[in-house]
Chains A and B, each alone.
Chain A
């Protein structure tokens, strides 16, 4: 059986490539001719492609689980000692495997989206399916000809090289799959945007058809980012969770563009405006995720994520260029099909707030893109320049403050012009901000950045609270007592209240970020047994250090007694098989208001040890807010979408009528 894995796996990939090419042509042919049977055939070819990639993925996982070291990929990313779960995580742990995982997710989510959307608008879906298949063709060409996970070794080793020690963590099981799934699935809204341009059918059809998948994709990206931050904080031992690393930025930028997109499509849905802008944002989000992939894969920028470098960078660069040229060309050739929008009725309106918010998001993306690519661009013209976190702190501060103010005010503004009733509603965010400000001052906080961030977030939280309270009081007037009214209200308008829950989560994350950014206290201690270090309200007495072999690594453990009486043991793990690579095992003690974060740096002298200790205010709020944000997305997504068959255009009509 084992001998067959590489052949069967590679065959699945080649078959998937052939079927993806077929799906691409059938889809576009069906859409152009308005032939429902051809379009359906194209969809089936996409499903079959997905099935083949499922088969290839199963083969790779089987190879990893059964220690099939004839596969170069398994040898490079696994070994016999790895626990089963980490063996499976090798699927996305390396270059070729993660590319296969990317393709798998694209095809699975793409197939479901296409299958659902075809019931409403078969023609647009056929174009989107064709675009999606073209992206799959590119990925499969790379998987078959350039970076195949099924290449064989001439000499089969007895054991593999294992997984990078930093990756041997529970974060590895969840962070990459979410991040990659978020990246890859944004190709689907992109495909629908492209489809609407090719078909010359603007309206809101493509947005309606890809709205849910865009939300799912955004939810996956958000989860991936949060898990990445959690992992960085708990594993890397530097006291923080986001370091403006190029690869982190590469993940953040598509998320920012997608966030802007999810908000601006509401303007098109409510007011029929911003059509070109929404197309631009859907394309930008996808292109940024491709750029991110290129940065991660090519290793062109120095990054902590260096474990995924391979020679497929130029392929992704080529594909990125093709996508940019294709998107621009399509916009130029088909832009005339986008109807001219009516002028905005009133600047101070919900629409104006969304527009301003979008501009701010794009400014953030531009600032981060500039900071990320500067080493590359400056290196190309002479001396290589780099920016540090100070650049990001300076450039993003004003847009972030403006965004926080918009979260507090925007949801209260009316869609339609007229009346000044909305002014009265502003008393909620004003009161919330005041309470937060007073709380900051009473707690003795003097950092202007921290006070500003928490005050604005307080205003935003009050706005969300107002939306729940006013909705519930409306529901109560109609029928029933408070609790039942709230439940009925939330159940009836899940997408709206899910979005507000996501806002609450986001604001909690903001409070955590500003708290830890402006309030972090750090101190290094070198202690001898019996000596005590003090930081914040904590003290820690050093009891001693010892070494302990732990399977494939050795741990240097430092023992400390905290003033609470608890004995903690931060450690440094050394992996001899990985050129003596060191991994920190930090100790974190959390309260709702702060984390005590202890890192053992190493031994000093005969019996001493060095520690790096942080007090990180409000960090638990980030994880708590993250959970709320994800719950909001899941809850909002559980709402039924109201769709109706698209009946604009002759070909589209023919395909809807044809059973």
Chain B
């Protein structure tokens, strides 16, 4: 259980880095995917 919770935290911590190319604001946009 401890392992699962810890690994869940690690994945959640990585997600902003992983998903940043999909969620970053593009030129002429306020947000969302380009």
What residues make up the interface of A, taking CB atoms closer than 8 Å to B? 7-8, 10-15, 18-19, 22, 26, 36-38, 40-41, 44-45, 48, 51-52
CB contacts (< 8 Å) of A40 on chain B: these are 21
CB contacts (< 8 Å) of B8 on chain A: these are 15
Task: Say how far A189's CB is from chain B's closest CB, in angstroms.
Answer: 26
Whether the pair A45, B18 counts as a contact (CB closer than 8 A) is yes
> Which of A19, A26, A44 has the largest number of chain B CB atoms within 10 A?
A44
CB contacts (< 8 Å) of B2 on chain A: these are 7, 11
Q: A7-B2, A37-B33, A37-B34 are in contact. Are A15 and B18 (CB under 8 A)?
A: no
Starting from the known contacts A10-B3, A10-B7, A11-B7, 13 additional A-B residue pairs (CB-CB under 8 Å) come to A11-B2, A11-B3, A11-B9, A13-B7, A15-B7, A15-B14, A19-B18, A37-B21, A37-B33, A41-B18, A41-B21, A51-B14, A52-B14
B interface: dominant SS: helix
CB contacts (< 8 Å) of A52 on chain B: these are 10, 14
Whether the pair A48, B14 counts as a contact (CB closer than 8 A) is yes
Whether the pair B10, A11 counts as a contact (CB closer than 8 A) is yes
Distance, CA A51 to CA B17, complexed state (A): 12
Whether the pair A19, B11 counts as a contact (CB closer than 8 A) is yes
Q: How many positions in chain B have a CB within 8 Å of any CB in the partner chain?
A: 18
Whether the pair B34, A11 counts as a contact (CB closer than 8 A) is no
> Which of B10, B20, B33 has the largest number of chain A CB atoms within 10 A?
B10
Q: List 24 A-B contacts (CB under 8 A).
A: A7-B2, A7-B3, A7-B6, A8-B6, A11-B3, A11-B7, A11-B9, A11-B10, A12-B10, A13-B7, A15-B6, A15-B7, A15-B11, A15-B14, A19-B18, A22-B18, A26-B18, A37-B33, A41-B18, A41-B22, A45-B14, A48-B14, A52-B10, A52-B14
Distance, CA A39 to CA B8, complexed state (A): 23
Whether the pair A38, B22 counts as a contact (CB closer than 8 A) is yes
Which residue of the partner chain, among B3, B7, B21, contacts A44 with CB atoms under 8 Å? B21
CB contacts (< 8 Å) of B33 on chain A: these are 37
Closest CB pairs A-B (n = 8): A11-B6, A14-B7, A15-B10, A40-B21, A11-B7, A15-B7, A48-B14, A37-B21
Distance, CA A421 to CA B10, complexed state (A): 66
Task: Say how far A139's CB is from chain B's closest CB, in angstroms.
Answer: 17
Whether the pair B22, A18 counts as a contact (CB closer than 8 A) is no
Task: Say how far B3's CB is from chain A's closest CB, in angstroms.
Answer: 5
Task: Say how far B26's CB is from chain A's closest CB, in angstroms.
Answer: 9
Task: Say how far B28's CB is from chain A's closest CB, in angstroms.
Answer: 13
CB contacts (< 8 Å) of A11 on chain B: these are 2-4, 6-7, 9-10
Whether the pair B18, A48 counts as a contact (CB closer than 8 A) is yes
CB contacts (< 8 Å) of A15 on chain B: these are 6-8, 10-11, 14
CB contacts (< 8 Å) of B11 on chain A: these are 15, 18-19
Whether the pair B4, A14 counts as a contact (CB closer than 8 A) is yes
Distance, CA A531 to CA B18, complexed state (A): 74
Whether the pair B21, A48 counts as a contact (CB closer than 8 A) is no
> Which of A10, A15, A18, A45 has the largest number of chain B CB atoms within 10 A?
A15
Task: Say how far B34's CB is from chain A's closest CB, in angstroms.
Answer: 7
